[in-house]
A = this chain, B = another copy of it.
Amino acid sequence: MDFSSKLLENAVYEVSQLPGIGKRTALRLVLHLLRQPQEQTQRLSFALQEMRDQIKHCKNCHNISDVDICDICNNPSRDRSIICVVEDIRDVMAIENTSQYRGLYHVLGGKISPMEGVGPHDLTINSLVEKVKGGQVAELIFALSSTMEGDTTNFYIYKQIEAFDVKTSTIARGIAVGDELEYADEVTLGRSILNRVPFENSLKSS
């Protein structure tokens, strides 16, 4: 693309560095900002910079937070003996939205993925193992994506804490509520039969 302005070209280039945004979309977004009051661009630009410079991670669960210990870890009504292991803040938000979980979290910051050069030491696995060693944890719930990388990460952590007295579980894999059986893949359907639950349980959770 041939721009009539270096300033515009530079802005489009930087916006197009974001994932899933190509040059054309970037140009559309930048032209939109040009049509809006100057303050909108100022606010956007300030909000991004302030966030990047000042954001913290909770020292306990590694979730994104404005303070050293996040609201969830600080909440006295939370059950400190259960830890749900998740990949990032989006998973925390998704689980919090269900209102079904009252324990704490541990945010790994990713999954073990040799393809993307992410090893165990790039994640917060050590700090999780230390927590388990401390003996205060009764159960770890693995809530990672059901992918090769997720399974590898689960297994790696499991091997590290095997020796300690801690229960481990994974979230149930099965047919999503509202889905039709005929469209489910066979692995999911197979697992959902193997891990069937007493009918009374399904009455309770609805």
Check: A18 CB closer than 8 A to any chain B CB: yes
- Which residues of B lie under 8 Å from residue A181 when comparing CB positions? none
Knowing A45-B49, A51-B10, the reply to whether A92 touches B17 (Cβ < 8 A) is no
For chain A, the bracket of interface size reads 35 or more
A46 touches B44 (CB 8 A): no
Residues of B within 8 A of A55 (CB): 5, 7-8, 34
Interface flags for A1-29 (1: CB within 8 Å of B; 0: not) read: 11111111011011101111100010111
Within 8 A of B (CB), among A77-104: 88-90, 92-93, 96-97
Residue with the highest number of chain B CB atoms closer than 10 Å, among A13, A21, A64: A64
Let me know if A54 is at the binding interface, CB within 8 A. yes
* A33 located at the interface, meaning its Cβ lies under 8 Å from any Cβ of chain B in the complex: yes
**A66 interface residue per 8 A CB criterion:** yes
Q: Would B92 and A7 count as touching, CB distance under 8 A?
A: no
A37-68 vs B, CB cutoff 8 Å, 1 = contact: the mask equals 01011111111111111110010000111100
Residues in B with CB closer than 8 Å to A70 are: 4
Residue in B3, B6, B17 whose beta carbon sits within 8 Å of that of A93 in the complex: B3
Asked whether B49 lies within 8 Å of A7 as measured between CB atoms, the reply is no
Q: Shortest beta-carbon distance, A57 to chain B, in Å? A: 10
Given the interface contacts A3-B93, A4-B89, A28-B19, does A13 sit within 8 Å of B52 by beta carbon?
no
Give the complex CA separation of A43 and B90 in angstroms.
25
Evaluate contact between A66 and B32: CB separation under 8 angstroms: no
Sample of 28 A–B contacts (CB below 8 Å): A3-B93, A4-B65, A4-B92, A5-B64, A5-B66, A7-B54, A8-B51, A8-B64, A10-B51, A11-B47, A11-B51, A13-B47, A14-B43, A14-B48, A15-B44, A15-B48, A17-B40, A18-B29, A19-B32, A27-B90, A31-B90, A33-B52, A34-B51, A38-B53, A41-B48, A41-B51, A44-B48, A45-B49
